[in-house]
Chain A
Amino acid sequence: MSEENLTPKKKGFFAHIREGLSRTREALSSKVENLISYYKEMDDDFFEDLLDVLVSSDLGMKTAEDIVNRVRTQVRKEKVGDPQKVRQYMRDAIVEALGGIQDYELPRPAIITMVGVNGTGKTTTAGKLAAKYKAEGRQVILAAADTFRAAAAEQLTVWAERAGAPVIRHQEGSDPAAVVFDALASFKARGADLLIADTAGRLHNKKNLMNELEKIGRVISREAPDVSQEVFLVVDATTGQNALNQARVFSEVAHVTGIVLTKLDSTAKGGIAIAIASELGVPVRFVGLGEGIEDLMPFDPVGFAQGIL
């Protein structure tokens, strides 16, 4: 199969980002816009409606209330009378909830493990990341540690070809920790910079599957104790409040170091990422904006906040 040119609707990098984010913005901005023109002054109803806007973006009640309360306090304190100003306050509060502006640089060398529930975009993101860091001059190896899902290794192999990176794979049904072990050997032998391990999708409430992930982590710590370990939890932006449970459990078991928020090219707002970042303190590192190899962007909290309001 040669799908290189089959990725649906290939567009330029920026066109994608613009489009993806603007959809997010459109949906919400118009709501906020309506609110603002409807309310002459900011009474409780105004804030209640603002809360609805956030809730409809999947922030979850708790995070949404936190943000609205913070803004309300600020507005009262500073005696702001202009609803327009509230938007900027809200954006600021969202950026703050997201942990502020951070410059993220992947350590070199590093090992990334992609984890998450089924179908969120782990394999795709592994491919995108491989391509990104390859282009930046790193020597990248992919490990097909999803030995469970049908044709998962084949899928990753296609991405490896696209990215021009070698892939270490075993037979379907074999031990994923063994794949990682072999990949680490190859990583060391080649003196590579970056190993990206794609793991099988698993629900966080399945204890034995989570244990398997723990085992992979142990193998990496044991075999490459000096290499920085990143564990990226891949979260589908269309996910609701359950993503918070996902983040909680995956963090516990697999020591998640960052979130990749995928499918932001959809109409979903991905507000749950704000809840995750603010409640668990796990930073968002990248966003996925489509199915093409270049549809990956470093996470920009300011842009994201603008996308929401």
Chain B
Amino acid sequence: MAFEGLGEKLQGALKKITGRGKIGEADLKAAMREVRLALLEADVNFMVVKDFVKKVSDRALGAEVQASLTPGQQVIKIVNEELTALMGSSHARLTFSSKPITVYMLCGLQGAGKTTMAAKLAALLKKQQSKRPLLVACDIYRPAAIKQLQVVGEQVGVPVYEHGTQDPVLTAQEAYALAQRNGYDVVILDTAGRLQIDEELMAELERIKASVPPQEILLVVDAMIGQESVNVAKSFNDSLGIDGVILTKLDSDTRGGAALSIKAITGKPIKYAGTGEKLTDIEAFHPERMASRILGMGDMLTLIERAQQNFDEKQAQEMEEKLRKQSFTLEDFLDQFEQIKKMGSMAEMLAMIPGGNKINPEDIDEKEMARMEAIIRSMTPKERRNPDILAASRKRRIAKGSGTSVQQVNQLLKQYDMIKQLMKQFGGKGGRRRLRGLKLPL
């Protein structure tokens, strides 16, 4: 998952702020150096980093430390808030034209992933919004670019308009006319990759823009981009006036500082993210979630507070012991359910746990939790301790006992495995120490 690691670094830095009471200036300076380093390593543009660090420092120095927090935690809180402020707070949706046809123009550097994204977007709009999209091949330069769009278009069942290697302005216009005649309501233009300093090709985009006014011009950016993100985004925005950004290859292990930089420089929201090579691998971009994912530590503060309210130390230590031995069983899982119910929802919890972002919160709903609980309760203690013995016949019995299906039993086992995996990571090196410090229930 992208963004991993930055959180750990930041936490490491902020741990250095010790003691209670006011945040010391020397401590803060040392920690901010680490923050700066962590952000730079994450490819946040260095000018953006400078601004960010200054803002956080100013606030942290002036801040009264909340009674419940250590100065270190207070700084985490400020970093988190500033990060969220920088990223924006809610998902920016695509807008639709009031005219019958909405045109989106995708543009960006070579190799950013425009063609794949065009098909993903078309598929998404078709499925979620019941739109009738038309894909348009405006990349006349790269060998076989048109063919590529045709192939992915076919894969998602969206027609592709192409007119060879003629001026893409004409192709775009023809496509628009075709859409009018045939009742397509969304037109997606796949343009050629180009450098933002290539005046001739930038002018081509301006001509396309003028000829079929797009509802939105979307800049497609590789999430692995480095310091240049800012120049690229700024230039495209200055010459075209982009409406939003789509980040691709977010399934890489990049820390993705580009997301921050681009938002900071252009003020334009990141609307979608590409998260894999399959044409369904597209996700709405949630900046508020992403901000906490960037930190990789989620909403630690809330978690710390709730944990402190709900758990006694002894229990936490026991659990930690289990983690260390990796003997976390379904019985413990059940125990945890009880505890978690006191703290909030499972999805909430996961979102708050460092590394918990590996599990998509949308995959877990509350009803499911009740179901899971029922399933575990229908198991014998022996089964709970060793789910490996769950053969088909046992699963059928459990399903019946809990009023669920074998499929749902399997699903629970899968979830349990996932959580165990996650725990293993916590149980590993740094994680354990972190857990002890926080006295987390998990």
**Chains A and B come from one and the same complex:** yes
Asked if residues A242 and B252 are in contact (CB atoms below 8 Å), the reply is: yes
A1 contacts B by Cβ under 8 Å: yes
Asked if residues B225 and A119 are in contact (CB atoms below 8 Å), the reply is: no
Asked if residues A155 and B148 are in contact (CB atoms below 8 Å), the reply is: yes
A239 contacts B by Cβ under 8 Å: yes
- From A2, A159, A266, give the contact of B228 (CB < 8 A): A266
The B interface, classified by DSSP as helix, strand, loop or mixed, is loop
- From B42, B141, B254, give the contact of A7 (CB < 8 A): B141
B405 contacts A by Cβ under 8 Å: no
- From A150, A151, A239, give the contact of B224 (CB < 8 A): A239
- From A55, A119, A240, give the contact of B257 (CB < 8 A): A240
Contacting residues, chain A, for B229 (C-beta < 8 A):
240
Stretch at the interface among B76-84, B196-204, B292-300, B428-436: B196-204
Asked if residues B40 and A61 are in contact (CB atoms below 8 Å), the reply is: yes
Contacting residues, chain B, for A152 (C-beta < 8 A):
144, 148
Asked if residues B198 and A9 are in contact (CB atoms below 8 Å), the reply is: yes
A60 with B144, Cβ < 8 A, contacts A23-B197, A239-B225, A267-B231 known? no
Asked if residues B226 and A267 are in contact (CB atoms below 8 Å), the reply is: no
How many residues of A are in contact with the other chain, CB < 8 A? 51
Asked if residues A155 and B195 are in contact (CB atoms below 8 Å), the reply is: no
- From A6, A150, A151, give the contact of B165 (CB < 8 A): A6
B233-251 to A contact mask, C-beta < 8 Å, 1/0: 0000000000000000101
Asked if residues A151 and B151 are in contact (CB atoms below 8 Å), the reply is: yes
Contacting residues, chain B, for A8 (C-beta < 8 A):
141, 192, 194, 198, 200-201
B222 contacts A by Cβ under 8 Å: yes
Asked if residues A240 and B258 are in contact (CB atoms below 8 Å), the reply is: yes
The residue on A at minimum CB distance from B226 is A240
B217-230 to A contact mask, C-beta < 8 Å, 1/0: 00000101111110
**Complex Cα–Cα for A203 and B45 (A):** 23
B140 contacts A by Cβ under 8 Å: yes
A118 with B140, Cβ < 8 A, contacts A1-B165, A55-B46, A238-B228 known? no
Asked if residues A154 and B226 are in contact (CB atoms below 8 Å), the reply is: no
Contacting residues, chain B, for A121 (C-beta < 8 A):
110-111
Asked if residues B253 and A56 are in contact (CB atoms below 8 Å), the reply is: no
**Complex Cα–Cα for A2 and B143 (A):** 9
**Complex Cα–Cα for A154 and B147 (A):** 8
Asked if residues A118 and B111 are in contact (CB atoms below 8 Å), the reply is: yes
- Shortest B114–chain A CB gap in Å is 9
Asked if residues B41 and A241 are in contact (CB atoms below 8 Å), the reply is: yes
A179 contacts B by Cβ under 8 Å: no
B111-143 to A contact mask, C-beta < 8 Å, 1/0: 111010000000000000000000000001111
B109 contacts A by Cβ under 8 Å: yes
Can you give 24 A-B contacts (C-beta < 8 A)? A6-B141, A8-B198, A52-B46, A117-B252, A118-B113, A121-B110, A151-B144, A152-B148, A172-B151, A203-B253, A205-B251, A236-B111, A238-B225, A238-B228, A240-B226, A240-B229, A240-B257, A241-B41, A242-B224, A242-B253, A242-B254, A267-B196, A267-B231, A268-B228
Q: Using A155-B148, A267-B197 as known contacts, list a sample of 8 further A-B pairs with CB atoms less than 8 Å apart, ordered by residue number in A.
A: A6-B141, A60-B40, A61-B40, A121-B110, A203-B253, A204-B252, A263-B111, A291-B142
- Of all A-B residue pairs in the complex, the 4 with the closest CB atoms, nearest first, are A240-B226, A119-B111, A240-B43, A158-B143
